[in-house]
Amino acid sequence: MNWLELNSVESLKPLSDILTKVSLKAKSIRLSGIKSYYTSIRPRLYGLHKYADIYFIGLLVKRLSDDVVLYIFSSNGEPIERAIDMLRAGQVRISEVRELQPKEIDELVKAEKYALLDSYFKLALRNYLYRAGFKPTITGRRTLWSKANDNALYSLGADLDLDTLKGYVSVDMKIPSSTTLWDEVVSRGMSVQGLWDYIDVNVMVPYGSRYAYGRIRGFIPKRVSEALTLNGEQLNLFDYYAKKGVQLDLNEHPIVEVEIVSSEPRSPRPLYYPPSRVRLFLPGNRPDPHTRYDKINGMLSDLIRNFNLFGIGFKRATIRYKKRVDMIKGVKLKYGDRERYTSPLYSMQKLNGR
């Protein structure tokens, strides 16, 4: 019988053990006029991660008719009050705030243990990443993490086993595309007519304070230094980006019409970009298997050394397998007969005996 090492770490004990070590306070907050908790409320509470290395913080959401009731549990009152302040600062309508009695807290913890631990686990991982010097990059609906002097973007998932309540952190990485449409125009001497093959191609573009996935819808045969008339108003992309501290090439052309396809809220109409701000997805940006394995393995080793939740550490996650393991593109594996829960993005195995 063999063991297969995965690109995940597993908690040494069930995370439910944390609840035996803390005394919880809780408040219920009734929010009015909320269409979607996950797009309008949850992002405002990400800042609670700052407390997650010291205090337990659990969130529970219930919908009542047109309102949302948010329950915030913590081993200290400070994060609860901070959450209320963040909601009010975001002009969220709070119709009621109520402190829960000990009996109510016990009943909700017993009934909603998984949801509370899951929300804490995700905040704790976010806290760890910030403390380790990582910064989030939002691409569409995904959050990737980057670090100074490292060209990789890391994707991390925090999941709980429904039966054992053990926690699993999975890691994957990618090298972001650095090739822009302007690079293609310059290197290949492409005309506007030659760019028509890029219509409907998926790209990544800046969108607010983040990057979003988009689709090229067309081109306008103008330089970025030439004025563009939109809804009766003049827009000069060169001047617009100069005000943001981005220096464009005066000769950049053509202007690219992009439809945003993976962000909320979506723009109701196409947006216009200089070609140097439109990133292409090319096969050359994929890391080689050895680089990918080394970076993922390094991240997992750091988690084992430094990620600790109320005395609960982590170890490499493994599964037992009986069937033949097939290598796919050097890093992706097929396997059978799982005997333990895992939450990997990919199964990992050392390459060439490494």
What tens digit of pLDDT does each residue of 257-280 get? 999 876 555 566 789 999 999 988
What is the Cα 322 distance to its own chain's centre? 34
Residue 50, Cβ neighbours under 10 Å: how many?
A: 17
Q: Where are the beta strands (DSSP E) in the chain?
A: 2-11, 25-32, 57-64, 67-74, 93-99, 134-139, 142-147, 150-160, 167-174, 202-207, 210-220, 228-230, 233-235, 255-260, 271-273, 279-280, 314-321, 326-328, 332-334
Percent of the chain with pLDDT over 90: 37
DSSP label of 347: B
Answer for the pair 210, 138: CB distance below 8 angstroms, yes or no.
yes
Predicted local confidence at residue 312, as pLDDT? 96
How large a percentage of the chain has pLDDT more than 70? 79
For residues 280 and 259, what is the distance between their CA atoms, to the nearest angstrom? 14
Task: Report the pLDDT averaged over residues 105-110.
Answer: 95
- Better pLDDT: 109 or 147: 109
Query: Average pLDDT, stretch 135-142?
Result: 70
- For the domain 181-283, what is the CATH code? 2.170.260.10
pLDDT band at 326 (very low <50, low <70, confident <90, very high): very low
Tell me which of 98-102, 125-129, 314-318 is least confident.
Answer: 314-318
pLDDT of residue 57: 96
Residue 287 has pLDDT above 80, yes or no: no
Please give the pLDDT value at position 322. Answer: 43
Q: Are 104 and 93 in contact (CB under 8 A)?
A: no
From residue 209, how far is each of 136, 205, 301 by CA, in Å? 11, 11, 31
Look at residue 175 in the predicted model and tell me its pLDDT: 73
With beta carbons less than 8 A apart as the criterion, state whether 226 and 240 touch. no
> What is the bridge-based pairing of β-strands 57-64 and 134-139?
unpaired
R_g of the chain, CA atoms, integer Å: 24
| Domain residue limits, the chain | 2-174, 181-283
Q: Quick check: 130 and 53 in contact, CB under 8 A?
A: no
Level-2 CATH architecture, domain 2-174? 2-Layer Sandwich (3.30)
155 or 349: which carries more pLDDT confidence?
A: 155
Which residues, in sequence order, are CB contacts of 37 under 8 Å at separation 6+? 61, 63, 68, 70
Please give the average per-residue pLDDT across 203-208, as a whole number. 83
Q: Looking at residue 132, what is its pLDDT?
A: 94
Q: What is the pLDDT of residue 267?
A: 61
Q: What is the mean pLDDT of residues 16-42?
A: 85
- Of residues 151 and 247, more confidently modeled: 247
